[in-house]
Amino acid sequence: MVLRSFFLTASILVGLMAAAQTDAVQEGSVMTLEQCRQTALANNKNLRKSAYGIEAAKYQKKEAFAAYLPSLDFAGGYMYNQKGIAIIDKDQYLPVETFNLEKKGYEMGLVKNPLTGEPIQVNGQFVPENVALLPKEALEFDMHNVFFGAVTLTQPIFMGGKIVAMNKITGYAEELARRMHDNEAQNIIYAVDAAYWQVVSLKAKQKLAVSYVNLLDTLQHNVRLMVEQGVATKRDQLTVDVKRNSAEVDLTKVNNGLVLSRMALAQVCGLPLNSVFTLADEDAEGILTGAPIAREYNMQDVYRSREDIRALELGVKIYDEKAKVARSSMMPNLALVGTYSFSNPNVFNGFKNRFNGMFSVGAVLTVPIWHWGGNYNKYRAAKAQTLAAQLELDNAKDLVDLQVNQASFKAQEALKTYRMTESNLEEADENLRCADVGFRDGVMTIDNVMEAQTAWLKAHSENIDARIDIYLCDVYLSKVLGQLAVGN
Distances (CA, A) of 227 to 223, 231, 237, 376: 6, 6, 7, 96
Q: Work out the end-to-end distance of the chain between its first and last CA atoms, rounded to an integer number of angstroms.
A: 25
Supply the pLDDT for residue 125: 80
Supply the pLDDT for residue 94: 84
Lowest mean pLDDT among 118-127, 264-273, 373-382: 118-127
Supply the pLDDT for residue 24: 43
Residues 134-146 pLDDT 10s: 888 888 888 899 9
Q: Where are the alpha helices (DSSP H) in 306-442?
A: 307-328, 374-441
pLDDT of residue 148 exceeding 90? yes
Task: Give the amino acid at 235.
Answer: R
Supply the pLDDT for residue 287: 52
Cβ neighbours for 432, distance < 8 A, ≥ 6 positions apart: 452, 453, 455, 456
**484 vs 175: which has the higher pLDDT:** 175
Task: Give the amino acid at 359.
Answer: F
pLDDT of residue 3 exceeding 50? no
Going by their DSSP bridges, the two strands 125-126 and 278-279 should be labelled as: unpaired
Band of residue 288 on the pLDDT scale cut at 50, 70, 90: low
Question: Strand 333-344's sheet: what is its strand order?
Answer: 71-80, 145-158, 333-344, 356-366
Q: What are phi and psi of 224, to 5 degrees?
A: -60, -40
Range with the largest mean pLDDT of 6-10, 146-150, 285-289:
146-150
Q: Are 244 and 210 in contact (CB under 8 A)?
A: no
Alpha-carbon distance 337 to 153, whole Å? 6
Percent of the chain exceeding pLDDT 90 equals: 61
Which residue(s) pair with 134 in the sheet? 92
Q: Are 309 and 179 in contact (CB under 8 A)?
A: no
Q: Where are the alpha helices (DSSP H) in 269-373?
A: 299-305, 307-328
DSSP state of 135: -
Q: What are phi and psi of 262, to 5 degrees?
A: -65, -40
pLDDT of residue 166 exceeding 70? yes
The arithmetic mean of pLDDT across residues 313-341, rounded, is: 95
Supply the pLDDT for residue 12: 35
Lowest mean pLDDT among 29-38, 46-55, 131-140, 419-428: 131-140
Band of residue 285 on the pLDDT scale cut at 50, 70, 90: low
Range with the largest mean pLDDT of 80-94, 257-271, 294-308:
257-271
The arithmetic mean of pLDDT across residues 249-265, rounded, is: 95
Taking each helix axis from N to C end, the angle separating 162-229 and 33-43, rounded to the nearest 10 degrees, works out to 130
Cβ neighbours for 273, distance < 8 A, ≥ 6 positions apart: 263, 266, 267
The arithmetic mean of pLDDT across residues 138-166, rounded, is: 93
Count Cα neighbours of 311 within 13 Å in the Cβ-side half-sphere.
14
Alpha-carbon distance 275 to 21, whole Å? 11
Instruction: Look at residues 299, 258, 294, 293 and name the one whose alpha carbon lies nearest to residue 279.
Output: 258
pLDDT of residue 265 exceeding 50? yes
Cβ neighbours for 231, distance < 8 A, ≥ 6 positions apart: none
- What's the mean per-residue pLDDT of the chain? 87
Range with the largest mean pLDDT of 24-28, 169-173, 409-413, 434-438:
169-173
Task: Give the amino acid at 318.
Answer: I
Instruction: Look at residues 223, 230, 70 and name the one whose alpha carbon lies nearest to residue 156.
Output: 70
Band of residue 18 on the pLDDT scale cut at 50, 70, 90: very low
Q: What are phi and psi of 288, to 5 degrees?
A: -100, 115
Q: For the whole model, what pTM was predicted? A: 0.79
39-271-208 Cα angle (round to 5): 90
pLDDT of residue 22 exceeding 80? no
37-38-44 Cα angle (round to 5): 85
pLDDT of residue 70 exceeding 90? yes
pLDDT of residue 175 exceeding 50? yes
The arithmetic mean of pLDDT across residues 421-444, rounded, is: 88
Band of residue 337 on the pLDDT scale cut at 50, 70, 90: very high
For residue 173, the Cα-to-chain-centroid distance in whole angstroms is 9
**262 vs 275: which has the higher pLDDT:** 262
Band of residue 14 on the pLDDT scale cut at 50, 70, 90: very low
pLDDT of residue 289 exceeding 60? no
Radius of gyration of the chain (CA): 46
Task: Give the amino acid at 341.
Answer: S
pLDDT of residue 10 exceeding 60? no
pLDDT of residue 25 exceeding 60? no
Cβ neighbours for 405, distance < 8 A, ≥ 6 positions apart: none
